[in-house]
Amino acid sequence: MHSDAIPTVIPPVSGVTALAWVGEAPADIDCQSVELYSQDQLNLIKQDIIIVQSCANQDQILCSLRQQTSTSLSLILIETPSLLSPYLANGQWSGEWQQEYDAFIKRKKLWNLKPNNNVELMLLSYLWLHPEASMLPRKVPVQPHLYEYPLLALWGVKSCNQVEWLNRLTDKGWLEHLQLENRARFSPCCHSSRLNYLDTCPSCQSIDFQLQTCLHCFNCGHIGAETQFRKQSGLECPNCYQSLRHIGVDYDRPIENHVCKTCHTMFAEAPVSAQCLECNELHELSALVTKNFYSYGLSLAGQLLARQGVVANLFADSEGNQMSLAQFCWLAQWQNKLAKRHGQTHTILSVKLTDGALLSERGMPLHQLETLQERICSIVRTTDACTQYTEEGMLFLLPFTLPGCLSSLISKFTELQETFTLPLHFDFRAVGLPADTGMNFQQWLMASLAQSELINR
């Protein structure tokens, strides 16, 4: 398959051979541009592009290459797919690889983030260098955590913590959800997915009960199995000996048609609970922990970070004046309490860039993005507010402001919209404080913003 696929001239990059080939050399390959490595020499590979020849332990090779610092971010191509290749490799080796390689080198030149073994920054770098890659969850049904992200596992993030870890990066605005791949439930006792769903007797929790056709005597109110009512002459109540002729007049069939074999209680429906198979504990379904497994990609802010190499956010000013969403909520909640006590009015404004993904897809030039970032920062700096960027947008806490008096801040964003050639679109929503927010302020805030009307400009 290689005979016409490989171009004969490959430019050497700063003295290092361009390609590393793991396996036996194909006969027609140009020896000057390719360096061969055996499976025992993986630790010697320094190249940016690595081809792994099909072999029985391909997955093991991919794991080793991703684990060692020198090749963790390299462009790795494979001959044939394997179990882990969708998660650890960057596609199949083909005649078109030269273009792929050039694109990789171009992106590498623009990349200014130095991860220094920081796994968060390594992931951002990986997604920057391989723009078609995403963090995909892999199903591992034999494991109690059900899904894992193989690259993160290799980089030392424990499988049971990976979802929280990725969501933290999403909270920071660096990653974004691409698609919801699956949802699963885990026991609150040991976070296991090995759950047995049990229907039980509502009175004694026994699992031993059966379906039974029952009758209800109107004369004395007795309820019992239909077999106890059957006599040769017809139906007769075993309690009051009344003969039962007409359904609806003398008797009916109650909805309680389950009988517990342990405590003999009759009931209509057996409630379902979840038994943790690790420790046998029974949990109500509402007590189970729900986890969403998404695929993740680099957000606009994440792309900027990978390019600029400074931990900045599209919406944070250069002094890094940014608080976490939890801090923002704590502050807003505290202001809410004060507002209630002293009769003050505050507003939380959300500004959302609605087509951020679209901008990066269409390839908004990064220098334009950088200008956009600068301009947004200057708005934030000159406003007496604190902000936090979430998937819901930029959040501003505006003290002593009525929701109706936001026009000056909004007009600053509208002006910004007009100075860019590419279509920028911001959505504005606002909620007022004080409010009855319930126990979970963040949940209240997100729900209230979602329900609030878009502010017309």
Q: Rank residues 228 and 378 by Cβ distance to Zn ion and give the closer one.
A: 228
Quote the least distance from Cβ 288 to Zn ion, whole Å.
11
The one segment of 31-39, 108-116, 161-169, 182-190 that binds Zn ion by CB under 5 A = 182-190
Quote the least distance from Cβ 167 to Zn ion, whole Å.
23
Quote the least distance from Cβ 137 to Zn ion, whole Å.
23
Quote the least distance from Cβ 139 to Zn ion, whole Å.
21
Q: Which residues of 314-366 form beta strands (DSSP E)?
A: 346-353
Q: Rank residues 244 and 372 by Cβ distance to Zn ion and give the closer one.
A: 244
Report the candidate in 198, 210, 215 with the shortest Cα–Cα distance to residue 261: 210
DSSP per-residue string spanning 27-67: TTS-TTTEEEE-GGGGGG---SEEEE---TTHHHHHHHHHH
Write out the binding residues for Zn ion, residues 314-333 only, by CB under 5 A: none
Q: Rank residues 95 and 221 by Cβ distance to Zn ion and give the closer one.
A: 221
Contact between 189 and Zn ion by CB under 5 A: the answer reads yes
Structure tokens at 55: 């072999």
Q: Rank residues 260 and 359 by Cβ distance to Zn ion and give the closer one.
A: 260
Q: Rank residues 227 and 321 by Cβ distance to Zn ion and give the closer one.
A: 227
Write out the binding residues for Zn ion, residues 229-268 only, by CB under 5 A: 237, 239-240, 260, 262-263, 265
272: DSSP letter: E
Q: Which residues of 245-288 form beta strands (DSSP E)?
A: 251-252, 258-260, 266-267, 272-276, 282-284
Q: Rank residues 202 and 434 by Cβ distance to Zn ion and give the closer one.
A: 202
Q: Rank residues 252 and 278 by Cβ distance to Zn ion and give the closer one.
A: 278
Cα–Cα distance between 312 and 327 in angstroms, integer?
Answer: 18
Q: Rank residues 240 and 285 by Cβ distance to Zn ion and give the closer one.
A: 240
Write out the binding residues for Zn ion, residues 275-314 only, by CB under 5 A: 276, 278-279
Quote the least distance from Cβ 248 to Zn ion, whole Å.
16
Size of the site for Zn ion (CB under 5 A): 21
Residue with tokens 């490989």: 6
Quote the least distance from Cβ 253 to Zn ion, whole Å.
15
Quote the least distance from Cβ 141 to Zn ion, whole Å.
18
Q: Answer whether 261's CB lies under 8 Å from 131's CB.
A: no
Q: Answer whether 221's CB lies under 8 Å from 239's CB.
A: no
Cα–Cα distance between 103 and 128 in angstroms, integer?
Answer: 12
Q: Rank residues 262 and 327 by Cβ distance to Zn ion and give the closer one.
A: 262
Q: Rank residues 119 and 225 by Cβ distance to Zn ion and give the closer one.
A: 225
Quote the least distance from Cβ 168 to Zn ion, whole Å.
25
Q: Rank residues 218 and 330 by Cβ distance to Zn ion and give the closer one.
A: 218
Write out the binding residues for Zn ion, residues 193-222 only, by CB under 5 A: 201, 203-204, 206, 217, 219-220, 222
Q: Answer whether 172's CB lies under 8 Å from 120's CB.
A: no
Quote the least distance from Cβ 214 to Zn ion, whole Å.
13
Cα–Cα distance between 299 and 309 in angstroms, integer?
Answer: 15
Give the end-to-end CA distance of the chain in Å, rounded to a whole number: 60
Name residue 298's amino acid. L
Residue with tokens 């390594």: 122
Contact between 379 and Zn ion by CB under 5 A: the answer reads no
Among 36, 190, 331, 422, binds Zn ion (CB under 5 A): 190
Cα–Cα distance between 405 and 97 in angstroms, integer?
Answer: 57
Among 74, 187, 350, 387, binds Zn ion (CB under 5 A): 187
Cα–Cα distance between 239 and 229 in angstroms, integer?
Answer: 9
Write out the binding residues for Zn ion, residues 396-455 only, by CB under 5 A: none
For 113, 124, 127, 172, 356, the CA distances from 120, given in Å and listed in that order, are: 11, 6, 11, 11, 22
Write out the binding residues for Zn ion, residues 335-364 only, by CB under 5 A: none
Quote the least distance from Cβ 160 to Zn ion, whole Å.
13
- CA torsion 440-443-446-448 (nearest 10°) is -70
Quote the least distance from Cβ 159 to Zn ion, whole Å.
17
Q: Answer whether 55's CB lies under 8 Å from 61's CB.
A: yes
Q: Rank residues 181 and 278 by Cβ distance to Zn ion and give the closer one.
A: 278
Quote the least distance from Cβ 144 to Zn ion, whole Å.
9
Question: Is the bond preceding residue 434 a cis peptide, omega within 30 degrees?
Answer: yes
Structure tokens at 92: 């199949």
Question: Residue length, the chain?
Answer: 457
List contacts with Zn ion (CB under 5 A).
187, 189-190, 201, 203-204, 206, 217, 219-220, 222, 237, 239-240, 260, 262-263, 265, 276, 278-279
